[in-house]
């Protein structure tokens, strides 16, 4: 007789367990909705090669996901964020993406200035703030 199956709370899960869960859902998704993600970065470096900003993106299922966009505080307001976003969108369009999406709780207005629109929100995430989910159409392709 097999021992009963139980649910165990692990408040400090091992990295291997977390990775296994991730791999298993990725395998399931690959069977049910085929497609592979392509991760890329646009890096903003100063004259000495130090990282002073950048964009981390993921392309999957004909969508660009802007995972993170950061520009050093001393460089903000000079168009670097706008240019990083525009270049990511152009790159994604060359890879067949029709749309882009992202989430933010601090920079909603920034993204709205460049054509992104809110499609969902989570209040009190983090407490006292709202996390916004925004999207933008990149091409006229179906989707």
Q: Using the predicted structure, report yes or no on whether residue 104 has a pLDDT greater than 80.
A: yes
Structure tokens at 96: 């067949």
- Domains in the chain: how many in total? 1
Domain membership of residue 142 (yes or no) is no
Structure tokens at 109: 């207005």
Q: Report the pLDDT averaged over residues 116-125.
A: 97
- Cβ–Cβ under 8 Å, residues 33 and 22: no
Distance, CA of 117 to CA of 108 (rounded, Å): 9
Domain membership of residue 4 (yes or no) is no
Q: Using the predicted structure, report yes or no on whether residue 30 has a pLDDT greater than 90.
A: no
pTM over 0.75: yes
Tens-digit pLDDT profile for residues 42-100: 999 999 999 999 999 999 999 999 999 999 999 999 999 999 999 999 999 999 999 99
- Cβ–Cβ under 8 Å, residues 58 and 65: yes
Q: Using the predicted structure, report yes or no on whether residue 5 has a pLDDT greater than 70.
A: yes
> The domain spanning residue 32 has which CATH number?
3.40.630.30
- Cβ–Cβ under 8 Å, residues 55 and 40: no
State the Cα angle at 135 between 133 and 72, rounded to 5°: 70
Domain membership of residue 26 (yes or no) is yes
Tens-digit pLDDT profile for residues 38-55: 999 999 999 999 999 999
Four-CA torsion 22, 42, 69, 99, nearest 10 degrees: -70
Tell me which residue range forms the domain holding 26.
Answer: 15-137
pLDDT-derived band of residue 140, with 50, 70 and 90 as boundaries?
A: confident
């Amino acid at each position: 007789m097999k021992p009963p199956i139980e649910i165990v709370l692990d408040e400090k899960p091992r990295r291997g367990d977390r990775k296994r869960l991730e791999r298993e859902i990725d395998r399931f998704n690959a069977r049910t909705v085929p497609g592979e993600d392509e991760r890329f970065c646009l890096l903003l470096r100063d004259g000495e090669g130090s990282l002073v900003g950048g964009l981390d993106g993921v392309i999957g299922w004909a969508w660009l996901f802007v995972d993170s966009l950061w520009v050093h505080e001393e460089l903000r307001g000079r168009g670097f964020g706008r240019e990083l976003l525009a270049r990511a969108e152009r790159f994604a369009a060359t890879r067949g993406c029709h749309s882009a999406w992202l989430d933010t709780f601090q920079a909603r207005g920034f993204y709205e200035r460049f054509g992104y629109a809110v499609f969902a929100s989570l209040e009190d995430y983090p407490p006292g703030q709202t996390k916004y989910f925004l999207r933008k159409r990149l091409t006229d392709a179906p989707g």
